[in-house]
Amino acid sequence: MSTVAAAALGDHSPHPPSPPGIPVRPEPPDRPAPPGRPESPGVRPARLGDVAALYALSRTFVRSGALRARTPRHYLSRVGDFLVAEGAERSRPRGCLALRDEGPATAVLYNFCVSPCSQGQGVGSQLLGAAFARSRRRSVRVIFTATTGSAALFLRHGFVPVPAAEAPARWAAALDPARGSQVLRLTL
């Protein structure tokens, strides 16, 4: 069985071999948060063993149209982009988001989802706080995201709507206009 298939079926081995032809982006070596900027409790960088859970968590939002479909290979090859809000006793993730560098001092936040049973409990705010802390440690000054939803959570955390033309060109070009996404920017 391929590693991708095993990951999709729930193989949680900590270091599966890299599938042929798929570069696995290593988990970033996050430095400890500087004094005065603690990590959000219960949020951690994703690990290879989280790939199946990230894929499964996202499927609900893909079916509703809130997220773009991504394959298990995407989660496997980009696991270092993801932060995970852990559930009770470190069971299934309560939520996740991904943060990808997109140029000098710029990042894109994507695949942000909180499980339906964890919504309204501050999980989204915890994930955003951890993403902001990670961004500051990496000298990111501007974060872009896109949403098909109300954007209320993003607006509460300082994001502002901007034209897609202000976002990184490669990322903006990949947005599907049929989805009606609103592009948002946060300056840290």
Beta bridge mates, 144: 108, 185
Find the length of the chain: 188
Dist CA 54 CA 45 (whole Å):
12
Residue-wise pLDDT tens digits, 48-83: 999 999 999 999 899 988 888 899 999 999 999 999
Nearest to 62 by CA among 46, 75, 49: 75
Identify the CATH class of 3-12+39-187: alpha beta
Q: pTM here?
A: 0.76
Question: Distance of alpha carbon 126 from its chain centroid, rounded?
Answer: 13
Q: Which residue has the tokens 């919504």?
A: 119
Look at residue 89 and give its three-state secondary structure. helix
Nearest to 94 by CA among 76, 106, 112: 112
Residue-wise pLDDT tens digits, 130-139: 999 999 999 9
**What band does 18 get if pLDDT is binned at 50, 70 and 90?**
very low
What is the pLDDT, as a whole number, of residue 116?
Answer: 87
Per-domain boundaries in the chain: 3-12+39-187
**Between 118 and 41, whose confidence is greater?**
118
**What band does 33 get if pLDDT is binned at 50, 70 and 90?**
very low
CA distances from residue 95 to 20, 43, 171 in whole angstroms, order as listed: 29, 9, 23
